[in-house]
Amino acid sequence: MSAAARIARIALDESSLSRRTPHLEQERNVAVADLLHENYFQPREHTGGPYAVRLGMQENRLAIAIADADDVHVGLILLSLSPLRRVIRDYTMVCESYYEALTTSPGRVEAIDVGRRAFHDEGSEILRQRLDGKVELDFETARRLFTLICALRTRG
């Protein structure tokens, strides 16, 4: 893997962000830090990274704007979120249960976390499939991007 095939900067369109809770904000911050620390991201038809990526919503679709290291526009990927909506909804509900259990039912945390990870993995795999032919990325990068996508307002 090339050192250039990576995301060097990531931003979320502020107007696309969903309501902020301390837990969601923390998850978003951890996902950004982990993503920037280690990732593999290579747009098809382009070899000049590293990349700056901006995630947002455009006309009810996920918008992934990609620029190179010099901020020259590389591409815009618009994806329907229909294949991801159910898993985003389920993942968000399980996350809310997880955070509630941290303070009220510590014994349930492990069981809930297993479900949370399963939805996270499922969403990451769907995202990789949706980006196939557009962007090459590894599973961990897809997981971190999925976390950030969940932070966006994904309903019309």
pLDDT tens-digit series, residues 30-58? 999 999 999 999 999 888 889 999 999 99
Mean pLDDT within 99-106:
78
pLDDT over 50 at 28, yes or no: yes
Mean pLDDT within 66-70:
92
pLDDT over 70 at 155, yes or no: no
Least confidently predicted of 9-18, 75-84, 117-126: 9-18
pLDDT over 60 at 145, yes or no: yes
Mean pLDDT within 15-24:
74
pLDDT over 60 at 1, yes or no: no
Per-residue model confidence as pLDDT tens digits over 81-101:
999 999 999 988 888 888 787
CB burial readout 87-110, b (16+ within 10 A) else e: bbebbbebbebbbebeeeeeeebe
Contacts 24+ apart (CB under 8 A), 78-84: 79/130, 79/131, 81/149, 81/154, 83/126, 83/129, 83/130, 84/123, 84/126, 84/127, 84/130, 84/149, 84/154
Confidence bin at 156 (pLDDT 50/70/90): very low
Find tokens 């557009």 and name the residue: 134
Mean pLDDT within 49-75:
93
pLDDT averaged over the chain?
89
Instruction: Look up residue 3 and give its two tokens.
Output: 């050192």
pLDDT over 90 at 6, yes or no: yes
